[in-house]
A and B are shown apart, each in its own frame.
Chain A
Amino acid sequence: MNQNNKFMNPYLAGFLLGLIVIASYYFSGRGLGASGAIKSVVITGINAVDNNGITDNKFYKEYLDTHDKSPLKAWLVFLAAGVIIGGIISGARGGRLQLKLEHGPNMKPRMRIAMALIGGLLFGFGAQLGRGCTSGAALSGMSVLSTAGFVTMMAIFGTGFAVAWFFRKFWI
């Protein structure tokens, strides 16, 4: 394996990430998240385009009843915007800013794109059903010792390990 100093020590990164989670709870009373940002944008987007379709859908309605119609006024959207900026800054410092399509050594680019789309779709769907993703439900949930956090985390990674072998040709 290559050992170099490109990336940060993972334990240090984890420690700093833990501090960020603490800060999030200290300031806002809630943890980090990501899938919710996508949810905000989707629902407010649909609402902007088609008002009628929304009002008889309970899932959309519940969100719109309790949040601003503008996607800009959502905590997770602000967080997500910051994440992108933070990623750019770090990538720039590490010389990792480059438009590219990554894929496993045995995976064709077109297949990779198809799988990225499907994987994203599953994750988007699953995160709604599971009320959060690895950042929101799992990481933040575990940080406050919620059972939901641990259950979701185990379901995500447990399933990942269970199916990894079947899709190994995607990655190795």
Chain B
Amino acid sequence: MGPLVPLGLISQDFDYIVAFFLGIAFGYILEQAGFSTSKKLVGVFYGYDFVVLRVFFTAAVTAVIGLIFMDFIGFIDFSQLYINPLFIESAVIGGAIMGLGFILGGFCPGTSLVAVATGKIDAMVFVIGGTIGVFAFGELYPMLEGLYMSSNLGPVFVFNSLGISKGVFVLALVIMALAAFVVTDKIEKKVKYGFKPEHPKYNMAKPAIGLGLALGLVILFLPDSQHSDLSKDSSSSVKESKITYISIEQIAFDIYYKTGKYHLIDTRPEAEYNRFCLTNSINIIPENISKLENRPFFTHPNKTAVFYSNDENISKQAYEIALKKGYNSVAIMKSGLNGFKEKVFNSKEITTAGVIGDANTIFISKFRDYLNSDTSLTKPRTKPKVIVKAKKIQGGC
């Protein structure tokens, strides 16, 4: 089951080989689609060539459906995949700057490499400019740091941000893509400029539409592995596949960045809780879940109560009791405290030079340092939260 490298099933060094061959395929296909020329690339902005939209949207929809399906059949563990975190201001402003760069330069980094490969001098200049741009960012970083690090919402999912289910979002995405394909096809035929754009000959309209809708419908009826609207039928016992799990990384993120998404509920006996517990967790044993004084922890509008215990046993009991009580915003920490300690403190990956994309491993080692820096972080809080200086890290590519 994937992802192979994060789960330790293939080595870091082999990962580089994988990257190389993925790159060859990536570059080959981009060039085959005509992405090695700025003329075809900017066509989307002027209406004479929508190849960018067609390729991009199709790729995104294919990947989304493929990954969800693989997660569904257990071929990939979606919770182990790198989800890029959202820093709102820098994403929007950075994106805007890139948009301008696209119009002026006629390339984006990936396509510029493909174009360089085919001998385009304007692409080579673009890459040189890109190098200078990275350097400029680095040198100006002290001034930019505030903007760069502001409003970190963490690795949020778009359907959650929109408040709809994953299935509905994917279906909407597929429908929008298909509509876009039809509309842009018409525009392209009407738009005329003083030159002839190069287009491949094909007719894929009908099969594409059919396939797209069919798959979209499949997604709509696929059960999510991490949904928050649990079955209201709380009298049935909770089956393994219906449990909402929160991964250790997600919890670590929430603790480190103080995004306040979770109420961490330690379901173990008090003595164990006092010895070692998760930051800002509360101790509620299963018998006390239905007590009135604990109600606020399970009915907070924006927070999910996450049960944990050493393995998953007691937390599963707690989970079932909570569901029976009608508390729906509940979940269990995957792998329990044993898994947490294993991953955070005993992980062997610390000393290997991390690959950029292995942001989880890098983050976990920062998280470990954070926990080690202050023992009160793993002890019960006795007073209102102790304010700890937050250390910030970057993410992504």
Chain A residues in the interface with B (C-beta under 8 A)? 1-43, 46, 57-60, 62-63, 66-68, 73-76, 78-91, 94, 96-105, 112-113, 115-164, 167-168, 170-172
The residue in chain A whose Cβ has the minimal distance to the Cβ of B92 is A155
* Apart from the given pairs A87-B28, A98-B119, 18 other A-B contacts in the complex at a CB distance below 8 Å: A7-B32, A8-B29, A8-B200, A14-B58, A18-B63, A30-B3, A46-B135, A66-B354, A78-B20, A85-B27, A87-B118, A101-B121, A102-B37, A119-B107, A122-B105, A124-B101, A124-B129, A153-B95
User: In the complex, what's the smallest C-beta–C-beta distance from A138 to chain B, in angstroms?
Assistant: 8
User: In the complex, what's the smallest C-beta–C-beta distance from A117 to chain B, in angstroms?
Assistant: 4
**Which A residues are CB-close (under 8 A) to B109?**
34-35, 37-38, 123-124, 127, 133-135
**Which A residues are CB-close (under 8 A) to B15?**
27-28, 75
User: In the complex, what's the smallest C-beta–C-beta distance from B365 to chain A, in angstroms?
Assistant: 8
A79-B20, A87-B30, A139-B56 known; A125+B136 contact, CB < 8 A: yes
Check A148 against B129 for contact (C-beta < 8 Å).
no
User: In the complex, what's the smallest C-beta–C-beta distance from A11 to chain B, in angstroms?
Assistant: 5
Check B129 against A117 for contact (C-beta < 8 Å).
yes
Check A118 against B357 for contact (C-beta < 8 Å).
no
**Which A residues are CB-close (under 8 A) to B356?**
30, 33, 36, 40, 67, 74-76
Check B60 against A118 for contact (C-beta < 8 Å).
no
Check B22 against A79 for contact (C-beta < 8 Å).
yes
A112-B122, A123-B101, A159-B95 known; A42+B355 contact, CB < 8 A: no
Main secondary structure of the interface of A (DSSP, over half): helix
The residue in chain A whose Cβ has the minimal distance to the Cβ of B17 is A78
The one of A46, A89, A100 that contacts B138, using a Cβ cutoff of 8 Å: A46
**Which A residues are CB-close (under 8 A) to B119?**
91, 97-100
Check B56 against A119 for contact (C-beta < 8 Å).
no
Is B346's CB within 8 Å of the partner chain A? no
**Which B residues are CB-close (under 8 A) to A141?**
84
Is B110's CB within 8 Å of the partner chain A? yes
Q: How far is the CA of A35 from the CA of B31 in the complex (A)?
A: 18
Is B87's CB within 8 Å of the partner chain A? yes
Check B6 against A29 for contact (C-beta < 8 Å).
yes
Check A66 against B26 for contact (C-beta < 8 Å).
no
Q: How far is the CA of A157 from the CA of B44 in the complex (A)?
A: 9
A sample of 9 inter-chain contacts (CB < 8 A) reads A11-B181, A19-B63, A29-B4, A60-B141, A84-B116, A90-B31, A149-B158, A158-B99, A172-B195
User: In the complex, what's the smallest C-beta–C-beta distance from B133 to chain A, in angstroms?
Assistant: 2
A90-B27, A96-B118, A155-B96 known; A18+B127 contact, CB < 8 A: no
**Which A residues are CB-close (under 8 A) to B51?**
7, 10
**Which A residues are CB-close (under 8 A) to B42?**
164, 171
User: In the complex, what's the smallest C-beta–C-beta distance from A65 to chain B, in angstroms?
Assistant: 9
Q: How far is the CA of A96 from the CA of B37 in the complex (A)?
A: 10
Check A160 against B32 for contact (C-beta < 8 Å).
no
**Which B residues are CB-close (under 8 A) to A104?**
39
Check B117 against A91 for contact (C-beta < 8 Å).
yes
A18-B59, A81-B23 known; A122+B32 contact, CB < 8 A: no
Is B312's CB within 8 Å of the partner chain A? no
Q: How far is the CA of A28 from the CA of B78 in the complex (A)?
A: 12
Is B94's CB within 8 Å of the partner chain A? yes
Instruction: Report the tally of A-B residue pairs with Cβ distances under 8 A.
Output: 615
The residue in chain B whose Cβ has the minimal distance to the Cβ of A135 is B110
Q: How far is the CA of A52 from the CA of B107 in the complex (A)?
A: 34
**Which A residues are CB-close (under 8 A) to B362?**
66
The one of A5, A76, A122, A142 that contacts B60, using a Cβ cutoff of 8 Å: A142
The residue in chain A whose Cβ has the minimal distance to the Cβ of B195 is A105
User: In the complex, what's the smallest C-beta–C-beta distance from B21 to chain A, in angstroms?
Assistant: 6
**Which B residues are CB-close (under 8 A) to A103?**
122
Q: How far is the CA of A6 from the CA of B192 in the complex (A)?
A: 21
Is B394's CB within 8 Å of the partner chain A? yes
The residue in chain A whose Cβ has the minimal distance to the Cβ of B118 is A91
User: In the complex, what's the smallest C-beta–C-beta distance from A154 to chain B, in angstroms?
Assistant: 7
The one of A7, A46, A101, A125 that contacts B33, using a Cβ cutoff of 8 Å: A7
Check B108 against A102 for contact (C-beta < 8 Å).
no
Check A147 against B82 for contact (C-beta < 8 Å).
no
Q: How far is the CA of A30 from the CA of B19 in the complex (A)?
A: 10
Q: Sort A-B residue pairs by CB-CB distance and give the 8 closest, nearest first.
A: A119-B105, A82-B23, A155-B95, A130-B94, A120-B129, A124-B133, A18-B62, A14-B58
User: In the complex, what's the smallest C-beta–C-beta distance from A156 to chain B, in angstroms?
Assistant: 5
Q: How far is the CA of A141 from the CA of B61 in the complex (A)?
A: 12
The digit string for B106-132, where 1 denotes a CB below 8 A from any CB of A, is 111110111111111111011111111
User: In the complex, what's the smallest C-beta–C-beta distance from B69 to chain A, in angstroms?
Assistant: 10
